[in-house]
Amino acid sequence: RKPEWLALRDAIGQSGNLGGVGKWMAGGKAPFGFQDAWRDAILTRQQAYRGWLTAYGLPHCLPGNDGLHPFGWRHTLDWHGKPVHLIGLDSAWLAGDDHDVKQLCLTDDQIGRLLTTQDGAQLTGSRIVLVHHPLGEIADGKAARHLLAGFGVHLLLHGHVHDPDYQRWQHPNH
């Protein structure tokens, strides 16, 4: 039997229905051919990470704690009367082996829910996004870059690389 993360990656690749997957992972209806057991297993895998965040006093970084999306969080700070939104996007929810490049994704639902108000309006103030994987290593990285730019992200910080590097964040059409 395939591990759930691998079965889900295969199903996403075959269906091309990434938008439906993001909504399903947030509690919506499963896309045709997808099994709820896959979602449940993916969410269960996060329990150790959630426990670590709680133990270290970081409840504001718990994915889904604000009801927005199970693969991210948003924490808003006040900086001299202006909001600064820190948004964490989980790029590793489909991770599972050493062959993850271009197998992982950030869904449009995940990005949209975390970078807008409950009414769907763009957040005011500064928006700083934190994500583990560089967008170039994510299957939908180009689409994610366009979405992040469209939602007015000011700064994108990522990890995963082992040598320091920086790039100027700019709209993908420039």
Tens digits of per-residue pLDDT, 22-65? 889 888 899 988 999 999 999 888 888 888 989 998 888 888 77
Please give the pLDDT value at position 155. 92
Residue pair 111/117 in contact (Cβ under 8 Å)? The answer is no
CA 106, CA 67: separation in Å to the nearest integer? Answer: 17
Question: Where is pLDDT greater, at 148 or 58?
Answer: 148
Query: What pLDDT is attached to residue 85?
Result: 96
Q: What's the chain's average pLDDT? A: 87
Entry pTM: 0.86
In the numeric block, the tokens 């999306």 are attached to 69
What is the C-alpha to C-alpha distance for residues 150 and 17, in angstroms, rounded to an integer?
21
Q: pLDDT value at position 172?
A: 67
Report percent pLDDT > 90 for the chain: 39
- Residues 97 and 119: their CA atoms lie apart, in Å, by 38
Rounded Cα distance between 33 and 47, Å, is 26
Dist CA 40 CA 52 (whole Å) = 20
Q: What is the mean pLDDT of residues 153-174?
A: 75
pLDDT at 112 over 90: yes
Tokens of 13: 């690749």
The C-alpha angle 140, 134, 76, rounded to 5 degrees, equals: 95
Altogether, the residues listed in the chain come to a count of 174
Residue 31 tokens, joined: 């896309």
Per-residue pLDDT, averaged over 129-150, amounts to 92
- What is the per-residue pLDDT for 144? 93
82 vs 103: CA distance, rounded Å: 37
Calpha distance 134→27 (Å, rounded): 27
